[in-house]
Amino acid sequence: MTEGSTGAAGGNVVVALVATRAPWGVAVRSYLRDHARGVSLEVPADRAALGEVLSRADVLMLDDVMRTVTAADVARAHETGAHVVGVAEPHGGMGARYLEQLGVDEVLPSSCAPGELVATALRAGKRAAPASGGPDWPRLPGPAARGDAGSPVPSLSAWTKVSGGAGLSEMVVAAAQELSRTMRVLVIEADDSTPVMVSRLMRSGEGGLPWALSLAAQGLSALPEGLSGARGDGTRPLGAFDALCVPPGTPPGIHSQHLERLLREAAGRYDHVLVELGPLGTGAAASRSRAGARALSMAASVVVVAQPDPEGAARLVNWRAAYVGEGGSSSCHAVFGRARRSGYERDHLAGIVSSNTGAHPFASCRFLPEDPAVARARWNAALPEGGAWLAAAQALVHDVVGSGGRATGRPRARSWAQRWAPVVAR
Protein backbone atom coordinates (compact mmCIF):
# COMPACT_ATOMS: atom_id res chain seq x y z
CA MET A 1 0.00 0.00 0.00
CA THR A 2 1.46 3.37 -0.99
CA GLU A 3 0.33 6.82 0.05
CA GLY A 4 2.06 10.14 -0.51
CA SER A 5 1.72 13.86 -0.79
CA THR A 6 3.43 14.09 -4.15
CA GLY A 7 2.65 10.82 -5.79
CA ALA A 8 5.78 9.13 -7.17
CA ALA A 9 8.59 8.33 -4.85
CA GLY A 10 11.29 9.84 -7.04
CA GLY A 11 13.20 12.41 -5.00
CA ASN A 12 10.95 11.88 -1.97
CA VAL A 13 11.82 10.56 1.47
CA VAL A 14 10.26 7.11 1.62
CA VAL A 15 8.70 6.29 4.99
CA ALA A 16 7.71 2.68 5.67
CA LEU A 17 5.16 2.64 8.49
CA VAL A 18 4.44 -0.92 9.54
CA ALA A 19 0.68 -1.51 9.75
CA THR A 20 -0.54 -1.41 13.35
CA ARG A 21 -3.86 -1.38 15.18
CA ALA A 22 -2.55 1.25 17.63
CA PRO A 23 -4.08 4.77 17.26
CA TRP A 24 -0.71 6.46 16.73
CA GLY A 25 -0.34 4.78 13.33
CA VAL A 26 -3.58 6.25 11.97
CA ALA A 27 -2.64 9.68 13.31
CA VAL A 28 0.79 9.64 11.69
CA ARG A 29 -0.62 8.50 8.36
CA SER A 30 -3.17 11.32 8.39
CA TYR A 31 -0.51 13.87 9.29
CA LEU A 32 1.83 12.77 6.51
CA ARG A 33 -1.00 12.81 3.97
CA ASP A 34 -2.28 16.26 4.96
CA HIS A 35 0.84 18.19 5.99
CA ALA A 36 4.07 16.65 4.72
CA ARG A 37 5.62 17.42 1.34
CA GLY A 38 8.30 15.46 -0.46
CA VAL A 39 7.35 12.31 1.41
CA SER A 40 6.10 8.97 0.12
CA LEU A 41 4.40 6.74 2.68
CA GLU A 42 4.24 2.96 2.36
CA VAL A 43 2.34 0.76 4.80
CA PRO A 44 3.44 -2.89 4.60
CA ALA A 45 0.78 -5.09 6.13
CA ASP A 46 2.72 -8.36 6.32
CA ARG A 47 6.23 -9.82 6.16
CA ALA A 48 6.14 -10.29 2.38
CA ALA A 49 5.26 -6.64 1.77
CA LEU A 50 7.80 -5.51 4.36
CA GLY A 51 10.62 -7.36 2.63
CA GLU A 52 9.81 -5.64 -0.64
CA VAL A 53 9.54 -2.16 0.93
CA LEU A 54 12.78 -2.38 2.93
CA SER A 55 14.87 -2.18 -0.24
CA ARG A 56 13.83 1.44 -0.80
CA ALA A 57 12.78 2.82 2.59
CA ASP A 58 14.62 5.82 4.04
CA VAL A 59 12.76 5.62 7.36
CA LEU A 60 11.17 2.57 9.00
CA MET A 61 8.61 3.14 11.75
CA LEU A 62 7.25 0.31 13.89
CA ASP A 63 5.74 -0.20 17.32
CA ASP A 64 5.75 -2.75 20.10
CA VAL A 65 2.16 -3.85 19.48
CA MET A 66 2.44 -5.55 16.09
CA ARG A 67 5.24 -8.13 15.92
CA THR A 68 5.52 -8.08 12.15
CA VAL A 69 9.13 -6.88 12.24
CA THR A 70 12.01 -9.02 13.47
CA ALA A 71 15.53 -8.01 14.47
CA ALA A 72 16.73 -9.42 11.14
CA ASP A 73 14.39 -7.01 9.32
CA VAL A 74 15.76 -4.08 11.33
CA ALA A 75 19.31 -5.18 10.55
CA ARG A 76 18.44 -5.32 6.86
CA ALA A 77 16.98 -1.82 7.04
CA HIS A 78 20.20 -0.57 8.60
CA GLU A 79 22.25 -2.22 5.86
CA THR A 80 20.42 -0.10 3.27
CA GLY A 81 20.93 3.04 5.36
CA ALA A 82 17.39 3.42 6.71
CA HIS A 83 16.71 5.16 10.02
CA VAL A 84 14.55 2.97 12.30
CA VAL A 85 12.15 4.53 14.80
CA GLY A 86 10.34 2.46 17.43
CA VAL A 87 7.13 3.72 19.00
CA ALA A 88 6.33 2.40 22.49
CA GLU A 89 2.63 1.95 23.24
CA PRO A 90 1.97 1.99 27.03
CA HIS A 91 -1.26 0.00 26.69
CA GLY A 92 -0.90 -3.45 25.17
CA GLY A 93 2.68 -3.04 23.92
CA MET A 94 5.76 -5.18 24.57
CA GLY A 95 7.71 -2.24 26.01
CA ALA A 96 10.68 -0.10 25.03
CA ARG A 97 13.10 -2.88 25.98
CA TYR A 98 11.58 -5.08 23.28
CA LEU A 99 12.13 -2.35 20.67
CA GLU A 100 15.72 -1.86 21.84
CA GLN A 101 16.38 -5.57 21.46
CA LEU A 102 15.10 -5.36 17.89
CA GLY A 103 17.87 -2.80 17.27
CA VAL A 104 15.88 0.36 16.52
CA ASP A 105 17.83 3.63 16.38
CA GLU A 106 15.56 5.44 18.85
CA VAL A 107 12.40 4.84 20.86
CA LEU A 108 9.59 7.40 21.20
CA PRO A 109 6.39 7.18 23.26
CA SER A 110 3.14 6.91 21.34
CA SER A 111 1.89 9.90 23.33
CA CYS A 112 4.03 12.20 21.14
CA ALA A 113 2.09 14.41 18.75
CA PRO A 114 1.98 13.07 15.17
CA GLY A 115 4.01 16.03 13.95
CA GLU A 116 6.74 15.30 16.51
CA LEU A 117 6.88 11.65 15.52
CA VAL A 118 7.17 12.55 11.85
CA ALA A 119 9.78 15.26 12.44
CA THR A 120 11.92 12.85 14.48
CA ALA A 121 11.67 10.17 11.83
CA LEU A 122 12.56 12.51 8.97
CA ARG A 123 15.42 14.42 10.54
CA ALA A 124 17.80 11.65 9.46
CA GLY A 125 17.08 12.86 5.90
CA LYS A 126 17.89 10.91 2.82
CA ARG A 127 19.57 7.63 3.53
CA ALA A 128 23.13 6.93 2.51
CA ALA A 129 23.57 5.06 -0.72
CA PRO A 130 22.95 1.33 -0.12
CA ALA A 131 25.80 -1.09 -0.37
CA SER A 132 26.56 -2.15 -3.91
CA GLY A 133 25.73 -5.61 -5.08
CA GLY A 134 28.33 -8.31 -5.07
CA PRO A 135 29.04 -11.84 -3.91
CA ASP A 136 27.07 -13.39 -1.07
CA TRP A 137 30.07 -13.22 1.24
CA PRO A 138 29.38 -10.44 3.81
CA ARG A 139 31.69 -7.61 2.82
CA LEU A 140 34.45 -6.73 5.25
CA PRO A 141 34.44 -3.05 6.21
CA GLY A 142 37.24 -0.92 4.80
CA PRO A 143 39.80 1.03 6.82
CA ALA A 144 37.43 3.90 7.51
CA ALA A 145 35.04 1.57 9.31
CA ARG A 146 37.82 -0.18 11.21
CA GLY A 147 39.31 2.84 12.93
CA ASP A 148 41.81 5.55 12.06
CA ALA A 149 44.64 3.11 11.53
CA GLY A 150 42.51 0.68 9.56
CA SER A 151 44.27 -2.23 11.26
CA PRO A 152 42.86 -5.10 13.33
CA VAL A 153 42.66 -4.84 17.11
CA PRO A 154 45.56 -6.88 18.60
CA SER A 155 43.61 -7.91 21.71
CA LEU A 156 40.62 -9.28 19.77
CA SER A 157 40.21 -12.78 18.32
CA ALA A 158 37.18 -14.04 16.37
CA TRP A 159 36.03 -17.66 16.59
CA THR A 160 33.65 -18.93 13.93
CA LYS A 161 32.65 -22.14 12.15
CA VAL A 162 31.76 -23.51 8.76
CA SER A 163 29.68 -26.36 10.17
CA GLY A 164 28.02 -27.14 13.48
CA GLY A 165 28.71 -29.96 15.90
CA ALA A 166 32.49 -29.51 15.95
CA GLY A 167 32.73 -28.05 19.46
CA LEU A 168 33.27 -24.35 18.79
CA SER A 169 31.68 -23.13 22.02
CA GLU A 170 33.77 -25.50 24.13
CA MET A 171 36.92 -24.27 22.37
CA VAL A 172 36.03 -20.66 23.15
CA VAL A 173 35.39 -21.47 26.81
CA ALA A 174 38.62 -23.45 27.16
CA ALA A 175 40.61 -20.72 25.42
CA ALA A 176 39.15 -18.03 27.67
CA GLN A 177 39.87 -20.06 30.79
CA GLU A 178 43.48 -20.64 29.73
CA LEU A 179 44.09 -16.97 28.91
CA SER A 180 42.49 -15.87 32.18
CA ARG A 181 45.46 -17.33 34.05
CA THR A 182 47.45 -14.22 33.18
CA MET A 183 44.96 -11.82 31.56
CA ARG A 184 41.61 -10.19 32.13
CA VAL A 185 39.43 -11.88 29.53
CA LEU A 186 35.96 -11.29 28.09
CA VAL A 187 33.93 -13.75 26.01
CA ILE A 188 31.25 -12.29 23.72
CA GLU A 189 28.70 -14.73 22.33
CA ALA A 190 27.75 -12.92 19.12
CA ASP A 191 25.99 -15.96 17.67
CA ASP A 192 22.30 -15.44 18.37
CA SER A 193 21.16 -18.30 16.13
CA THR A 194 21.99 -21.04 18.65
CA PRO A 195 22.93 -19.38 21.98
CA VAL A 196 24.30 -21.77 24.61
CA MET A 197 26.60 -19.74 26.86
CA VAL A 198 23.98 -18.74 29.45
CA SER A 199 23.42 -22.41 30.22
CA ARG A 200 27.01 -23.58 29.71
CA LEU A 201 28.59 -20.90 31.91
CA MET A 202 25.80 -20.91 34.53
CA ARG A 203 25.16 -17.19 33.97
CA SER A 204 22.08 -15.08 34.46
CA GLY A 205 19.71 -14.51 31.55
CA GLU A 206 19.33 -10.86 32.59
CA GLY A 207 21.40 -8.26 30.75
CA GLY A 208 23.91 -9.90 28.45
CA LEU A 209 24.64 -9.06 24.83
CA PRO A 210 21.25 -7.51 23.87
CA TRP A 211 21.42 -5.07 26.76
CA ALA A 212 25.08 -4.25 26.08
CA LEU A 213 24.30 -3.57 22.41
CA SER A 214 21.40 -1.35 23.43
CA LEU A 215 23.73 0.72 25.61
CA ALA A 216 26.30 0.90 22.83
CA ALA A 217 23.61 2.07 20.40
CA GLN A 218 22.90 5.00 22.71
CA GLY A 219 26.57 5.91 22.95
CA LEU A 220 26.73 4.75 26.58
CA SER A 221 29.28 2.53 28.26
CA ALA A 222 28.14 -1.09 28.08
CA LEU A 223 30.67 -2.52 30.54
CA PRO A 224 30.46 -3.74 33.21
CA GLU A 225 26.69 -3.08 33.37
CA GLY A 226 25.87 -5.36 30.46
CA LEU A 227 27.86 -8.37 31.65
CA SER A 228 26.12 -11.71 32.20
CA GLY A 229 26.56 -12.17 35.94
CA ALA A 230 25.55 -14.64 38.61
CA ARG A 231 22.05 -16.12 38.50
CA GLY A 232 20.94 -14.84 41.88
CA ASP A 233 20.19 -18.25 43.36
CA GLY A 234 23.65 -18.89 44.80
CA THR A 235 24.94 -20.69 41.70
CA ARG A 236 28.55 -19.80 41.05
CA PRO A 237 29.26 -18.92 37.40
CA LEU A 238 31.75 -21.08 35.55
CA GLY A 239 35.01 -19.60 34.34
CA ALA A 240 37.51 -17.06 35.66
CA PHE A 241 36.52 -14.64 32.90
CA ASP A 242 33.68 -12.26 32.11
CA ALA A 243 31.02 -12.99 29.51
CA LEU A 244 28.33 -11.34 27.42
CA CYS A 245 25.83 -14.08 26.63
CA VAL A 246 22.67 -14.15 24.52
CA PRO A 247 19.64 -14.99 26.71
CA PRO A 248 17.34 -17.72 25.36
CA GLY A 249 14.41 -16.33 23.40
CA THR A 250 16.23 -13.20 22.24
CA PRO A 251 15.02 -12.08 18.78
CA PRO A 252 17.77 -12.77 16.21
CA GLY A 253 19.70 -9.95 14.60
CA ILE A 254 22.79 -7.96 15.66
CA HIS A 255 23.44 -4.45 14.37
CA SER A 256 26.98 -4.37 12.96
CA GLN A 257 27.80 -0.80 14.06
CA HIS A 258 26.52 -1.40 17.57
CA LEU A 259 28.64 -4.55 17.79
CA GLU A 260 31.70 -2.63 16.60
CA ARG A 261 31.23 0.01 19.31
CA LEU A 262 30.92 -2.73 21.92
CA LEU A 263 34.01 -4.55 20.68
CA ARG A 264 36.08 -1.38 20.75
CA GLU A 265 35.02 -0.60 24.29
CA ALA A 266 35.72 -4.19 25.37
CA ALA A 267 39.17 -4.17 23.75
CA GLY A 268 40.03 -1.07 25.75
CA ARG A 269 38.94 -2.61 29.05
CA TYR A 270 40.21 -6.19 28.76
CA ASP A 271 43.57 -7.79 28.01
CA HIS A 272 41.91 -10.06 25.47
CA VAL A 273 38.41 -10.40 23.99
CA LEU A 274 37.14 -13.56 22.31
CA VAL A 275 34.05 -13.12 20.15
CA GLU A 276 32.13 -16.21 19.02
CA LEU A 277 30.38 -15.83 15.66
CA GLY A 278 27.89 -17.92 13.75
CA PRO A 279 28.58 -19.58 10.39
CA LEU A 280 30.00 -17.12 7.86
CA GLY A 281 30.40 -19.24 4.75
CA THR A 282 29.18 -18.22 1.31
CA GLY A 283 25.51 -18.21 0.38
CA ALA A 284 22.38 -16.87 2.02
CA ALA A 285 23.67 -17.44 5.56
CA ALA A 286 26.57 -15.11 4.91
CA SER A 287 24.45 -12.33 3.48
CA ARG A 288 22.63 -12.13 6.83
CA SER A 289 25.84 -11.76 8.83
CA ARG A 290 27.11 -8.23 8.37
CA ALA A 291 27.81 -8.02 12.09
CA GLY A 292 30.01 -11.11 11.85
CA ALA A 293 31.88 -9.62 8.91
CA ARG A 294 32.50 -6.45 10.91
CA ALA A 295 33.89 -8.47 13.82
CA LEU A 296 36.11 -10.46 11.45
CA SER A 297 37.59 -7.29 10.02
CA MET A 298 38.50 -6.06 13.51
CA ALA A 299 40.05 -9.28 14.83
CA ALA A 300 43.80 -9.76 14.72
CA SER A 301 43.33 -13.54 14.73
CA VAL A 302 40.51 -15.71 13.40
CA VAL A 303 39.78 -19.35 14.25
CA VAL A 304 37.57 -21.29 11.83
CA VAL A 305 36.20 -24.63 13.02
CA ALA A 306 34.95 -27.50 10.86
CA GLN A 307 33.83 -31.08 11.22
CA PRO A 308 36.60 -33.64 10.60
CA ASP A 309 35.53 -34.93 7.18
CA PRO A 310 36.18 -34.05 3.50
CA GLU A 311 33.09 -31.82 3.39
CA GLY A 312 34.37 -29.85 6.36
CA ALA A 313 37.75 -29.47 4.66
CA ALA A 314 36.09 -28.22 1.46
CA ARG A 315 34.10 -25.67 3.45
CA LEU A 316 37.29 -24.41 5.06
CA VAL A 317 38.81 -23.93 1.61
CA ASN A 318 35.74 -22.01 0.41
CA TRP A 319 35.73 -19.88 3.55
CA ARG A 320 39.38 -18.97 3.10
CA ALA A 321 38.90 -18.06 -0.57
CA ALA A 322 35.92 -15.83 0.23
CA TYR A 323 37.76 -14.16 3.11
CA VAL A 324 40.81 -13.35 0.99
CA GLY A 325 38.60 -12.25 -1.89
CA GLU A 326 36.99 -9.63 0.36
CA GLY A 327 40.36 -8.25 1.43
CA GLY A 328 40.69 -10.03 4.79
CA SER A 329 44.27 -10.01 6.04
CA SER A 330 44.14 -11.28 9.64
CA SER A 331 45.92 -14.44 10.72
CA CYS A 332 43.46 -17.34 10.19
CA HIS A 333 43.70 -20.76 11.81
CA ALA A 334 41.81 -23.86 10.64
CA VAL A 335 40.64 -26.33 13.27
CA PHE A 336 39.01 -29.73 12.86
CA GLY A 337 36.99 -30.44 16.01
CA ARG A 338 36.12 -33.83 17.47
CA ALA A 339 38.68 -35.49 15.22
CA ARG A 340 39.53 -39.15 15.32
CA ARG A 341 43.06 -40.13 16.22
CA SER A 342 43.74 -41.70 12.82
CA GLY A 343 46.95 -40.23 11.40
CA TYR A 344 45.85 -41.14 7.88
CA GLU A 345 42.56 -39.23 8.16
CA ARG A 346 44.25 -36.17 9.63
CA ASP A 347 46.92 -36.09 6.94
CA HIS A 348 44.26 -36.45 4.26
CA LEU A 349 42.14 -33.59 5.62
CA ALA A 350 45.15 -31.32 6.14
CA GLY A 351 46.25 -32.12 2.58
CA ILE A 352 42.87 -31.07 1.15
CA VAL A 353 43.13 -27.72 2.93
CA SER A 354 46.79 -27.00 2.17
CA SER A 355 46.65 -28.04 -1.50
CA ASN A 356 43.60 -25.90 -2.25
CA THR A 357 44.44 -22.68 -0.45
CA GLY A 358 47.41 -21.95 -2.72
CA ALA A 359 49.20 -18.68 -2.06
CA HIS A 360 46.88 -17.86 0.85
CA PRO A 361 47.16 -20.78 3.27
CA PHE A 362 45.85 -20.86 6.83
CA ALA A 363 48.41 -19.87 9.44
CA SER A 364 47.94 -23.30 11.02
CA CYS A 365 45.77 -26.38 10.75
CA ARG A 366 45.04 -28.19 14.00
CA PHE A 367 42.98 -31.15 15.21
CA LEU A 368 41.17 -31.32 18.52
CA PRO A 369 40.40 -34.96 19.38
CA GLU A 370 37.12 -36.46 20.50
CA ASP A 371 37.43 -36.75 24.28
CA PRO A 372 34.86 -38.18 26.75
CA ALA A 373 36.16 -35.74 29.36
CA VAL A 374 34.49 -32.90 27.49
CA ALA A 375 31.09 -34.62 27.45
CA ARG A 376 31.42 -35.41 31.17
CA ALA A 377 32.27 -31.80 31.96
CA ARG A 378 29.20 -30.54 30.08
CA TRP A 379 27.00 -33.08 31.81
CA ASN A 380 28.31 -32.08 35.25
CA ALA A 381 28.15 -28.32 34.51
CA ALA A 382 31.90 -28.04 34.94
CA LEU A 383 34.95 -27.14 32.88
CA PRO A 384 37.13 -29.92 31.43
CA GLU A 385 40.16 -30.81 33.53
CA GLY A 386 43.02 -32.67 31.91
CA GLY A 387 42.90 -34.90 28.87
CA ALA A 388 44.09 -34.75 25.28
CA TRP A 389 41.35 -32.36 24.14
CA LEU A 390 42.12 -29.74 26.78
CA ALA A 391 45.85 -29.92 26.06
CA ALA A 392 45.18 -29.39 22.34
CA ALA A 393 42.78 -26.50 23.06
CA GLN A 394 45.35 -24.80 25.29
CA ALA A 395 48.04 -25.17 22.64
CA LEU A 396 45.62 -23.76 20.06
CA VAL A 397 44.86 -20.58 21.98
CA HIS A 398 48.53 -19.81 22.59
CA ASP A 399 49.19 -20.33 18.89
CA VAL A 400 46.29 -18.06 17.97
CA VAL A 401 46.79 -15.26 20.47
CA GLY A 402 50.59 -15.28 20.42
CA SER A 403 51.67 -11.80 21.46
CA GLY A 404 48.11 -10.48 21.10
CA GLY A 405 46.40 -9.28 24.24
CA ARG A 406 48.21 -7.62 27.07
CA ALA A 407 49.55 -10.22 29.46
CA THR A 408 50.25 -8.38 32.69
CA GLY A 409 52.80 -10.71 34.23
CA ARG A 410 51.01 -10.26 37.56
CA PRO A 411 48.04 -11.96 39.22
CA ARG A 412 44.87 -11.40 37.21
CA ALA A 413 42.10 -9.31 38.72
CA ARG A 414 38.99 -11.26 39.56
CA SER A 415 36.24 -11.17 36.97
CA TRP A 416 33.01 -9.35 37.74
CA ALA A 417 31.20 -12.68 37.97
CA GLN A 418 33.69 -13.88 40.61
CA ARG A 419 33.38 -10.65 42.59
CA TRP A 420 29.60 -10.81 42.80
CA ALA A 421 29.20 -14.58 43.25
CA PRO A 422 30.09 -14.56 47.00
CA VAL A 423 27.64 -11.70 47.60
CA VAL A 424 24.85 -13.63 45.87
CA ALA A 425 25.69 -16.79 47.78
CA ARG A 426 25.27 -14.99 51.09
Per-residue pLDDT 10s for the chain (426 aa) are 444 443 334 457 888 899 888 888 888 888 877 766 677 888 888 777 888 888 888 889 999 988 888 888 888 888 777 888 999 988 778 888 888 888 888 888 888 888 888 887 777 654 443 343 333 445 555 443 444 445 789 999 999 999 888 999 999 999 999 999 999 999 999 987 788 999 999 999 888 999 998 888 888 889 988 999 888 888 899 999 999 999 888 777 788 888 999 999 999 999 999 999 987 643 334 434 677 888 888 999 999 999 999 999 999 999 998 888 878 888 999 999 999 988 889 999 999 999 999 888 999 999 999 999 999 999 999 999 989 999 999 999 998 887 455 544 434 445 555 544 443 333
- State residue 184 phi and psi, 5-degree precision: -90, 120
- The domain 143-423 is classified under which CATH number: 3.30.70.260, 3.40.50.300, 1.10.10.60, 1.20.1730.10? 3.40.50.300
- Number of helices (H), then strands (E), in the chain: 16, 13
- Give the CA distances from residue 7 to residues 12, 98, 107, 289, 376, in Å, rounded to whole numbers and listed in that order: 9, 34, 29, 36, 66
38/44 Cα distance (integer angstroms)? 20
* CA dihedral of 347, 353, 355, 358, whole degrees rounded to 10: -150
Using the Cα atoms of residue 131, residue 135, residue 141 and residue 142 in order, give the sign of their dihedral.
negative
The structural domains of the chain, with segments of one domain joined by +, span: 2-122, 143-423
pTM reported for the whole predicted model: 0.65
214/239 Cα distance (integer angstroms)? 25
Instruction: Tell me whether residue 398 is exposed, middle or buried, using C-beta atoms within 10 angstroms of its C-beta: 0 to 12, 13 to 18, 19 or more.
Output: exposed
Q: Please give the CATH topology (third level) of the domain spanning 2-122.
A: Rossmann fold (3.40.50)
CB neighbour list of residue 51: distance below 8 Å, 6 or more residues apart? 73
Q: Do residues 152 and 297 lie in contact, with contact meaning Cβ atoms separated by under 8 Å?
A: yes
The reply to whether 2-122 and 143-423 are identical in fold is yes
